[in-house]
Chain A
Amino acid sequence: MSLGKDILQGDRRALARALTLVENQMPEADEIVREVFGHTGRAIVVGITGAPGVGKSTLVDRLTGHFLSLGRQVGVLAVDPSSPFSGGALLGDRVRMEGRGSVVFMRSLAARGHLGGLARATPRAIQLLEAAGKDLILLETVGAGQSEVDVMGYADTTVVVVVPGLGDDVQAFKAGILEIGDVFVVNKADRPGADQTMRELRQMLSLGPRKAWQPPVLAAKAQSGEGIEEIAAAVLQHKDSAERNPEVGTRHVREAERFLRQALADQLVAHAVARAKAAGRWESLVEDVARRRKDPVWAAKELEGGEERE
């Protein structure tokens, strides 16, 4: 039995199982990813980010419906925070999804302490969905409002969602959300102040450097489905522009080096720790750091050097 093969054949249960292995960082996961990696990288990955309650999940649901009608194979990943106290999580993004049976594959991921608005398993989860034949993946980040900049590293197109009445959000914009958006959506345009917010946003964007891709600012009423087509069109346009224009760049370029670095880091760390443990040095070094006898960087250098200095 090989989960990888089953996934490639579209077995949903195998996909779900493999996602768990990836989330749990089980050794079997490496094997599965190796098996399917050649079949990944083919989907358009659309990141949806924004403060809590701006309507990300509603938008994901409507975009799902729209992309399905365009004949796309849609996968959804939705990330929610884990409790820092218990490690548990309440994953509630499915509530807003229309029941579409097995046509759409949706997986809720807990952040499990990972910062940046996504789960550590996100890139691999995307790969598994791609291997299962999904060619359009919607990725909803944790609604934290500020620090979800990770999403731009994993998505082809990042959609930043705001609601009328920027007010406090101006801080978030200063904190960098402006730079990560490829498409801006002012959702809940049925509420007063949407025009004003769109103007403010456009103005802020115009202050930035001129780029090959100028992020559009679109209005939407996710609840009633208005504006969805335009968002989908902008997403596809951005993808085209990225492919034609090296300056915009596709995620593959952005991610390849990072994947490699991350994988290397994981492996080196695992090796180094295993070696130190085998040599009986790990516990005492941890103890030294805990008691402030050594600082962590110095302790790591010691291990890396493989021998004790002084």
Chain B
Amino acid sequence: MTTPDGQQNAAAASGDTALGENASEGTGGYDGEAATLSTALEARTAFSGDRSAVSVGEYFQAYRNRIRGGDLGALPALAGLVVLVVVFAALRWSTFTSASNFANLLTQAASITVLAMGVGFVLLLGEIDLSAGVIGGVGASISAQLIDKQGMPWWVTVIIAVAVGLAMGVLTGFLVTIVGIPSFVVTLAFFLAWQGVLLAIASEGGSIPDTNPVIFGLTHSSVSLLWSWVIVIAAIVVWAAYVAVTAQRRARQGLAQPPLTVQLLKVGGVGLLAVLATAALSINRALIGKPDQGIPWIVPIVGVLLVIWTFVQSRTQFGRFVYAVGGNKEAARRAGIRVPRIIIACFVISSGMAVFSGIIEGSRIGSVTASSGTGNQLLFAVAAAVIGGTSLFGGRGKARDAIIGGLVIALIPNGLGLITDSSVWTYIITGAVLLLAASVDAITRRRRASSGR
């Protein structure tokens, strides 16, 4: 600060009282001004929400206020998830709650979830990527073709496919930022154009079998029982330790945070669900022959992606820039953020993740065809992100939204498939759920805007 010494000290001294527990005593005022009634009142409220010790009661009070103010977070999606599970369990108890159906559900959700995580970055900007599904198809066909025809190691083909996806993302980002074409139009054009490329690779009507045991195994084989439990327990312990250590550090620095009990309850709750899920997946799913049990491989892989992207979004400067550009592009520009770079990077992330998603879907189906990723895949992924709580207006959303929304999207056909052979209701209900989620988004957004002023 450029303040003369005396003033700075005075400010620091009264600043301390204002931030401390006894904020109401900090009425000494600045610059020798006499304390007035209004400054006394203000001093009491100053940073009152930032005290390091917040009781559980106060926390829930603040949480209620946030929800009233339109900050619902994952609440609606979680409620929807619970409703769907209860309804399907009630209607088809034996089949819906079977271990094999549960494992099915997870593998069905995986590719949409991964696609939604990547597209989520573009949605955070308030842009759209309609080409991601087809890019996934192109990536998957490249990988499958290189394995099938060239006999390349699977991991080399994955690297090549992802590299192609990244390049496609750069191209999209370039056209959106430098040339200035709306992302809707650019990605619609690529949605069509890349289908031609996919057709050229997969050849008309042809299908490339997924012959690689590793890639096929992503969605068809499971982590051994022992390792399943080791992974789950270790993940919960590491998470709890991280929460506790972070809480301690923030407390030492005098910073506000949710009470540790609440945080640990959250870890405990999610942990308990994970343990129950692992228990369910420990049941043998094979009807005859070799036992089929443990967590499907794809689940821990999606978990790792979730951790990586959550970290990028919430802990890195790049993540902060993405939210800033999505919130107010002009403010971001004036803050010195190189907005075009951020936009290009998000399209690159979207395309890269799309290739992973395409490979996962190829693994689940067992082959890649000229129509892979050209159907509703992308629309489902966007729906998943929105249902999970990502705003189509930009600036709001998290990687975890893709998980919650992806599960909802996968649950609908999974549950209805056990009730009827017809897809009629699957489409109608999925559309209705998306509309509901988008309405929640639009309404809470209005609410947030009006609750401030």
Do A and B associate with each other?
no
Binding site for A on B (CB under 8 A): none
